[in-house]
Amino acid sequence: MPAKAYHRKLYQYVVEEIGQQIIRGQYGIGDILPTEDRLSEEMQVSRGVLREAIQVLVQKGLVRTRPRIGSQILPRKNWNLFDPDVLVWRLRIEDKTTFLKDVTEVRRLIESEAAKQAARRATRIETGHIKTVLDQLQEMLNDQAGYEYNAYLSLDIRFHTMILEASHNDLLAQIGRTIRDAVHQARQIDTSDMSVQKESWPYHAAIWENIEKKDPEAAYKASQAMFDNIWQHIVK
């Protein structure tokens, strides 16, 4: 393995290990991480790798470094909860149902607004591409013998991402994509149920139809209806 790749692998390991320990509550608010020497020895990494990893955790809002004190654990309110790593760590560690409720509430706000703006701003090329993916989703659901959950999931993520992009609002699109990464991780460990996907398809079709018709309010309502359906599956 090239030296740079090996270095990055170690660095990622340290970021994930310490980050998940913090989210798991192994350290309390205001606690100081062990010294560099101790952490380096425990994790079998160089002090240089450790320092890089700590700087990443600082950027994620999990710790702050203080001269002559060390790396101090910050309160949850300081965490960058939209950071892709923090989202995935929370998914792994915290109660999954609570996590998905939180994510679904935010998705409802962001993606429904994105559908509304896409109905106003999407180009004909964009609506055509969204329709192509929608048709592919239907084809997969009609092919019961060849249905493969992860392939369907990737296509579903693409459908929603394209709507986010078609909103032509960079902030909406970026936040939406970040949250969808976490949802993708969550749904990959679900037991696939084709009937749930079939139930959801008409909502997807209604969103596209209203984007294509340039009806912002109807696109918004169709998206809201889809999230109402998702919510029922989360809470039951």
What are the tens digits of pLDDT across the range 163-216?
Answer: 999 999 999 998 888 887 777 766 665 545 678 888 999 999 999 999 999 999
For residues 86-114, give the mean pLDDT: 90
More confident residue, 64 or 186: 64
Is residue 4 over pLDDT 60? no
Other Cβ atoms within 10 Å of 149 Cβ, number: 16
- pLDDT score at 146: 78
- pLDDT score at 6: 54
More confident residue, 81 or 193: 81
- pLDDT score at 188: 61
Is residue 50 over pLDDT 60? yes
Tokens read off for 72: 């101090």
- pLDDT score at 8: 64
Distance from first CA to last CA of the chain, Å, rounded? 47
pTM summary value: 0.82
Beta pairing partners, 72: 32, 64
Domains defined along the chain, listed by start: 3-78 (1.10.10.10), 84-235 (1.20.120.530)
What confidence tier does 2 reach under pLDDT thresholds 50, 70, 90? very low
For residues 72-100, give the mean pLDDT: 90
For residues 77-91, give the mean pLDDT: 90
- pLDDT score at 162: 96
- pLDDT score at 147: 82
Contacts of 217 (CB under 8 A, 6+ apart): 116
What are the tens digits of pLDDT across the range 123-150?
Answer: 999 999 999 999 999 999 998 877 888 8
Residue 104 CA, distance from chain mean position: 11
**What percentage of the chain reaches a pLDDT higher than 90?**
64
What confidence tier does 1 reach under pLDDT thresholds 50, 70, 90? very low
> How many whole angstroms separate alpha carbon 18 and alpha carbon 8?
16
> How many whole angstroms separate alpha carbon 220 and alpha carbon 206?
10
